Structure 1
Amino acid sequence: MAVSDVSRRQVLQTAAAVGVVGAAGCGGGDGGDGSDGGGGSGDASVPPEDYPSIDEWLTETAIGGADDTYAGSLTDHRDNASLTVDVGAEGNDGNFAYAPSAVVVSTGTEVRWNWTGEGNPHNVEALPEEQLGESDYEFSSGEAVGGSGVKYTRTLEESGVALYHCEPHLSLGMKGGIAVE
């Protein structure tokens, strides 16, 4: 009987220790310091309801195809001074995607679109009249070009939404959306 008492005691002590360690790992940020605990590192996600125009742009097919890389939420990059978006990332039945395709950034964030050299040629166009009329930004990298090492940079200074696409691959769903807070 003493042996089973010791075993039971050891099991209970071990279970209690595991519970304390597990609870310590779940604390996260509570927002007391002004953060939500997400850190804006790109690991947290923002629900699509917060930015319905981006969700609609990436899923609708009235203008181009739907982006099959869009997972239904936006990646949080608000604490980053810059963001790199791959142009020609895998998706939409080839290398016809932007990665990430849906993000939230802070005002003043420098966005760099970097061509991967795959699925060429590409460009980046934010033209409100071509994108549901809901893009607050208008810009273009110019004519579609191919090759790796091509870059286009834009600093997003105002709060709003930038809906953009690749002109040659719009019909395949090569679209992106950036919410600027």
Structure 2
Amino acid sequence: MAVQRPTRRQVLQGVLVGTVAGLAGCSGDGGGDGGDDEVSADDYPVIDRWLTETELGGAADNYDGSFADERGADTVTVDVGAEGNGGAFAFGPAAAVVSAGTTVEFRWTGGGNPHNVEALPEEQLGESDYEFSSGEAEGGSGVKYTVTLDEPGIVLYHCEPHFSLGMKGGIAVE
């Protein structure tokens, strides 16, 4: 795993640098708030595949191919138990892009309980650069789980009790 992780990051960073240079026509350190840069499924095919894949859990029906652009935000909230997949069985947003160093707060809505959040590469196409778990599924609206995404890469995650329904999410860390 340690050998694959840097390779994926290097590839992702190379693609991102090439894309930004090609789109912007200049070099720089970015640091903007997203501006005119639209983020789509074409930019992160692994996340798109994860959210539409049905061989591993259901497809996330609240995912429409778009990503929430949260680059530059210090903290981003992901709702756990958002509307989708036939009830409160989704993450909201389903897909997002954040900057390295962003803290992601998974916040339970209270709907569709119980839930948890798991990033387990072996269970998620083998493509997630992060591994974490909020633990056993919990119910309620006051539950929170926080993780800081320090390195560029891909985060694929799901809710174990509602995995078969398509309760999946993905975050690209730039």
What band does the TM-score fall into relative to the shorter chain? 0.7 to 0.9
Between the aligned partners of 1:39 and 1:32, the Cα distance in structure 2 is: 17
Unaligned residue ranges in structure 2 (runs of 5+): 1-23
* Secondary structure of the structure 2 residue equivalent to 1:171: helix
Say if 1:44 and 1:75, in contact at 8 Å, map to a contact too: no
1:95 aligns with 2:76: no
RMSD over aligned Cα atoms: 2.1
* Secondary structure of the structure 2 residue equivalent to 1:178: strand
Say if 1:40 and 1:80, in contact at 8 Å, map to a contact too: no
**In the superposition, relative to structure 1, how do residues 82 and 170 fare at CA in structure 2: closer, same or farther (>3 Å)?**
same
**1:40-79 maps to which residues of 2 (within 5 A)?**
40=34, 45-79=38-72
**Aligned-pair distance for 1:40?**
3.4
How many correspondences in the alignment? 150
Larger C-alpha radius of gyration, 1 or 2? 1
Between the aligned partners of 1:94 and 1:118, the Cα distance in structure 2 is: 8
Between the aligned partners of 2:125 and 2:83, the Cα distance in structure 1 is: 25
For residues 89-147 of structure 1, the C-alpha deviation after alignment (integer angstroms, 9 at most, x for no partner) is 01100000000110000000000000001000000000000000000000000000000
Runs of 4+ in 1 over 2 A off after TM superposition: 30-36, 38-41
**In the superposition, relative to structure 1, how do residues 88 and 44 fare at CA in structure 2: closer, same or farther (>3 Å)?**
farther
For residues 61-102 of structure 1, the C-alpha deviation after alignment (integer angstroms, 9 at most, x for no partner) is 000000000011212111111100000001100000000110
1:153 aligns with 2:150: no
Letter in 2 for 1:50: D
Between the aligned partners of 2:141 and 2:37, the Cα distance in structure 1 is: 29
Q: Which residue of 1 aligns with 2:79?
A: 86
Q: Which residue of 1 aligns with 2:7?
A: none
* Secondary structure of the structure 1 residue equivalent to 2:49: helix
Q: Which residue of 2 aligns with 1:39?
A: 33
Between the aligned partners of 1:121 and 1:45, the Cα distance in structure 2 is: 34
Unaligned residue ranges in structure 1 (runs of 5+): 1-29
Between the aligned partners of 2:173 and 2:139, the Cα distance in structure 1 is: 28
Between the aligned partners of 1:137 and 1:51, the Cα distance in structure 2 is: 16
Between the aligned partners of 1:97 and 1:126, the Cα distance in structure 2 is: 15
TM-score with structure 2 setting the length: 0.80
1:115 aligns with 2:111: no
Identity within the alignment, %: 69
